[in-house]
Amino acid sequence: MTVRSILRFPDPLLKAACAPVTVFDDDLRSLVTDLLETMHAAPGVGITAAHIGVLQRVTVIELSREDGARTYINPEITWFSEDMQRHIEGSVSMPGFTDEIIRPKAIRLRYQDIGGELREAEAEGFLATCIQHEVDQLDGIFWLQRLSKLKRDRLVKKWEKAKS
């Protein structure tokens, strides 16, 4: 188990789409373990392999330690509800900065588990928001892109000022 370095916005790798996982082996299991440890250290509730510079479609989400971590390999959202919800989002790649995003309240997804088995699931509420956020990242869409240009520009300006 290793806590890995997290890429910081505006690293260009955060805008890269991730490749599908094709090999389900010990290296993948190690990556998932490292992602969980890195997410706990950040701290955060979700992380993708892209956040640590590994461009593979892998994400780990843990809303609470009691419920445990969920691992999604090659996730694909197959349905979005028409009902929308607002939630404050941020990123382990931009710690301390958040804003409100509007996303569908419920989703269906298809993914593979750590052993490569194809699975389907439904999610709503906060879990649906987290999955959509992380799938966006796997597609090379950083959460700021879901904000209006005005909000995005303001947040980026604050981020740049805080870094200097």
Would you name the residues annotated as active-site residues?
Answer: 134
Planar angle of CA 156, 162, 163, nearest 5 degrees: 90
Longest dimension (CA), the chain: 46
Could you tell me where the DSSP H helices lie in the chain? 26-41, 125-138, 149-163
CB 68 within 8 A of CB 45: no
Q: Compute the distance between CA of residue 101 and CA of residue 40 in angstroms, rounded to an integer.
A: 23
Burial of 159 (0-12, 13-18, 19+ CB in 10 A): middle
Q: Which residues pair with 82 in a beta bridge?
A: none
CA 143 to chain centre: 9
Q: Is the dihedral of CA 15, 20, 23, 25 positive or negative?
A: positive
